[in-house]
């Protein structure tokens, strides 16, 4: 009888996991782990223009017909503090042709532009970084609830892939090469 109860409990738990996964746009593979995917993949996203962390304006690459990778981060984010220096060092020695890389700093109005500016300077970030104090890009356009996230978007504005959490150099390389070849 106890085994039957455990079996039923397991089925109920599995059903809830699958249901929540489907409702949130994540993918599930039973038996072998599959990384989550975003409901954004395959969909066209709006372009955006925000104030640059160091002045000027920063626009989504696909606004001008270029493919791009957008890295969402903030100085207070512990995984971002580990990710950004590695990505910056990696990008110093690699080129991806017409693919543009940009960052979106999600410091929030409370933390302010100064925190983001100091974080970008400390990590010697060479790519353009926009400031998103009201989360109009992070949560408004991309619907992300946490950071870091990296989105790879075609030149026509279609999301090709999303990496949840900190991205490794090898994954960044693979995704940028896919965009470059497309």
Domain map (residue ranges) of the chain: 1-34, 49-181
Q: Is the pLDDT of residue 120 over 90?
A: yes
- Give the DSSP H or E segment for 131: strand 129-131
**Owner of token pair 């100064």:** 114
DSSP 182: -
Q: What is the CATH number of domain 49-181?
A: 3.40.30.10
Whether the pTM exceeds 0.85: the reply is no
Residue 30 above 70 pLDDT? no
Q: Give me the chain's average pLDDT, please.
A: 81
Question: pLDDT at residue 132 above 60?
Answer: yes
pLDDT in tens, 36-57: 567 889 999 999 999 999 899 9
**Comparing 68 with 26, which gets the higher pLDDT?**
68
């Amino acid at each position: 009888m106890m085994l039957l109860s455990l079996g039923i409990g397991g089925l109920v738990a599995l059903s809830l996991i699958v249901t929540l996964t489907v409702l949130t746009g994540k993918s599930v593979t039973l038996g072998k782990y599959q990384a989550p995917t975003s409901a954004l993949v395959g969909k066209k996203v709006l372009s955006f223009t925000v104030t640059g962390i160091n002045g000027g304006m920063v626009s989504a690459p696909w606004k001008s017909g270029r493919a791009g990778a957008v890295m969402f981060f903030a100085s207070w984010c512990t995984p971002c503090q580990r990710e950004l220096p590695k990505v910056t060092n990696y990008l110093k020695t690699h080129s991806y042709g017409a693919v543009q890389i940009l960052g979106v700093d999600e410091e929030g109005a409370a933390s302010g532009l100064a925190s983001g500016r100091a974080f970008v300077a400390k990590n010697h970030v060479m790519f353009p970084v926009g400031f998103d104090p009201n989360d109009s890009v992070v949560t408004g356009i991309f619907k992300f609830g946490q950071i870091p996230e990296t989105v790879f978007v075609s030149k026509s504005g279609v999301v090709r892939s999303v990496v949840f959490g900190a991205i490794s150099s090898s994954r960044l390389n693979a995704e940028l090469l896919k965009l470059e070849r497309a």
